[in-house]
Amino acid sequence: MLRYIFWRVLAIFPLALIISFIAFILLELAPSDPAEVALRVNEIVPTPEAIEGMRHELGLDKPFFTRYFLWLIAGLQLDFGTSFLTRTPVIQEMLRALPPTLWLASTALFFTIILALPLALWCVAKPQGFTDKCIRFIVFVLTAIPNYWLGLLLIWGVAVYLNWLPVSGMLSPQSVILPALALSLGYIGTYLRLLRGTMLNQWHQPYVFYARARGLPDNLILRRHILRNSLYSSLTALGMSIPKLIAGTVVIENIFAWPGIGRLCISAIFGRDYPMIQAYILLMSLLFLFFNFLMDVIQMMADPRLRR
């Protein structure tokens, strides 16, 4: 087990290095001079002397690979530079906006799990029945609708028309319900279909015939054995969904005026805040690597067949 973890960690390093290089090179592909952008954002006239001074301040007068390695070393110390918009450290702005995003993403993940699991069990109990077809049809429709359109429908129906929940902002604990639902409905359909297909395949495994031969009822076999074995194959997909939920908050946070890292990213894009954009891309990519590695280790620990 420790040997597997060691080699997986070694495999992550070159991927992380490639991702950091791609995030850094985006600054070189920018259509405008970052030094001029930094001056205009701070309402300073971009004279040639001012641009030259800002390029020196940002380190843009150094060779490309020198700047990359200096940026990489600083990034390892959680120093991603200073925001063009707020003139504060980028890491400080991200740490301020990250807790609301994590709260929103964890609530959406909670909704996904508590709704997808019982619905999948309900569908598998009587496959191809009327209930199974109705649930799959509704879930298919919800999955096909973009989450920003679902967010607008929830705002109109639940918040404005019925006046049950707050419209936007993070003013109360109930404020997280609507954006979390809008974020999770698409994932609910994905996991329901994944769990349903896996559990239906498990019905034909030898251990199910053995359990039936022992006289165990189908409902008990489904909950105690089939569900447990089906969850193993869903762990990897679940691990990749956690960073996707965090990255997917970009649209939802702007619709619901949620003060998270997604809204911060949109502000950085419109304001051409290149250091913030670089840090955001690097953070989201590293989250994908980390959760993929974490779920591989958890799956290895949970499934004895993989350990062998």
**Digit-coded pLDDT (tens) for 93-132:** 888 888 888 888 889 888 888 888 888 888 887 777 788 7
- pLDDT band per the 50, 70, 90 thresholds, residue 302: low
Which pLDDT score is estimated for 305?
A: 64
- Confidence at residue 13, expressed as pLDDT on a 0 to 100 scale: 83
pLDDT at 308: 60
pLDDT confidence bin for 60, thresholds 50/70/90: confident
The reported pLDDT for the residue numbered 263 is 84
43 has pLDDT over 70: no
Average of per-residue pLDDT values in the chain: 80
Average pLDDT rounded to a whole number, residues 146-175: 78
Q: Per mean pLDDT, which range of 38-42, 48-52, 264-268 is the poorest?
A: 38-42
pLDDT value of residue 20: 87
Read off the pLDDT of each residue in 150-170 and give the average, rounded to a whole number: 78
- Which of 29-38, 73-82, 260-269 shows the lowest mean pLDDT across its residues? 29-38
Kindly report the pTM of this predicted structure: 0.80
pLDDT in tens, 231-285: 766 777 777 777 778 877 788 888 888 888 888 888 888 877 888 888 888 888 8
Q: Please state the φ and ψ torsions of residue 140, each to the nearest 5 degrees.
A: -65, -40
Is the model's pLDDT at 4 over the cut of 80?
Answer: no
- What is residue 219's predicted lDDT score, i.e. its pLDDT? 77
The answer, yes or no, to whether residue 163 has pLDDT greater than 80, is: no
What dihedral angle (degrees, nearest 10) is formed by the CA atoms of 163, 167, 173, 177? 80
Which tens digit of pLDDT belongs to each residue from 171-208? 777 888 888 888 888 788 888 888 888 888 877 778 87
- Taking CA atoms, 69 is separated from 21, 30, 52, in Å, by 9, 19, 22
Q: Give the pLDDT confidence score for residue 18 in this predicted structure.
A: 87
pLDDT of residue 39: 74
% of the chain at pLDDT higher than 90: 0
- Supply the pLDDT for residue 257: 80
